[in-house]
Amino acid sequence: KNQVEQSPQSLIILEGKNCTLQCNYTVSPFSNLRWYKQDTGRGPVSLTIMTFSENTKSNGRYTATLDADTKQSSLHITASQLSDSASYICVVSGMAGGFKTIFGAGTRLFVKA
Amino acid sequence: EAGVAQSPRYKIIEKRQSVAFWCNPISGHATLYWYQQILGQGPKLLIQFQNNGVVDDSQLPKDRFSAERLKGVDSTLKIQPAKLEDSAVYLCASSHATGAYGYTFGSGTRLTVV
């Protein structure tokens, strides 16, 4: 079964600290993996997208890594800001039974002053 | 480029009433998606259109939900009659072709059924 699992479910950190969010998937064959940021009451906004051949992608203070062999990805946030408080959703696409896109449940990040 | 437009932003209805949501995708995007996002969960695909044809509606509760994309541009999603468990955010997204290069979401419509 194609699945995307994220951890932790929620996370509280102090402003200025770094954090890492995890995403494990079983989608196969794999096409691409995306990380989205979703602010409360808004639609998800794309942060990074990685294909099979890429193992890291950065977008400002956000750095995503991908290990296609172990089917794991992480999103590292450096020097967190209050505005980073949001849900971070891992999305994996693959060609299992036609092109499918599977969403993780997200990690809810709270950044405290 | 203009984003994906959705309306209304919020809607409160009583159970058994009907409701409709509207989406205008990014110009030139062939594929349009409707997602349902229940609080604390990731989005769940309801229906995917390629131009004005349905590609995937396997998770659409067809006894009460319907969607159309006339002329391959704007789309409407309707719920009739609504149930309490339909309370969620309904997100519209659009992309080129299969969405292999990512897609763009609208801000969503928050539906509350009371």
pLDDT tens, B5-15?
999 999 999 99
Inter-chain CB proximity B101 and A99 less than 8 Å:
no
Inter-chain CB proximity B105 and A45 less than 8 Å:
yes
Q: What is the pLDDT of residues A39-95, one digit of tens each?
A: 988 899 999 999 988 999 999 999 999 999 999 999 999 999 999 999 999 999 887
Inter-chain CB proximity B42 and A104 less than 8 Å:
yes
Q: Provide mean pLDDT across the span B13-20.
A: 97
pLDDT attached to residue A30: 84
**How sure is the predictor about B60, in pLDDT bands with cuts at 50, 70 and 90?**
very high
CA distances from A48 to A59, A89, B5, B50 (A): 7, 11, 22, 24
> Which DSSP category does B38 fall into?
-
Q: How many CB pairs under 8 A join A and B?
A: 47
The three-point CA angle B55-B99-A20 to 5° equals 125
Q: Give me the DSSP letters along A4-30.
A: EEEE-SEEEEETT--EEEEEEE--SSE
Question: Who among A31, A45, A105 is closest to B41 (CB)?
Answer: A105
pLDDT at B70 over 90: no
| Number of helical (H) and strand (E) elements in chain B, helices listed first | 0, 11
pLDDT at A97 over 80: no
Q: Are strands A86-94 and A30-38 parallel, antiparallel or unpaired?
A: antiparallel
**A83: nearest Cα among A54, A109, A48, A65:** A109
CA distances from B12 to A40, B7, B46 (A): 18, 13, 20
Which of B32, B58, B90, B101 is most worth mutating to test chain A (most A CB atoms within 10 A of its CB)? Answer: B101
Residues from B in contact with A at Cβ < 8 Å: 4, 40-45, 56, 91, 93, 98-102, 104-108, 110
* Structure-token pair, residue B10: 């919020």
**Considering only CB atoms, which chain B residues are within 8 Å of A104?**
42
Query: How close B89 comes to chain A (CA, Å)?
Result: 8
Alpha-carbon span B18 to B59, nearest angstrom: 19
Question: Who among A32, A43, A46 is closest to B91 (CB)?
Answer: A43
Greatest alpha-carbon span in chain A: 46
Alpha-carbon span B23 to B103, nearest angstrom: 14
Nearest CA in chain B to A44: B105
Alpha-carbon dihedral angle through residues A4, A9, A14, A15, given to the nearest 10 degrees: 40
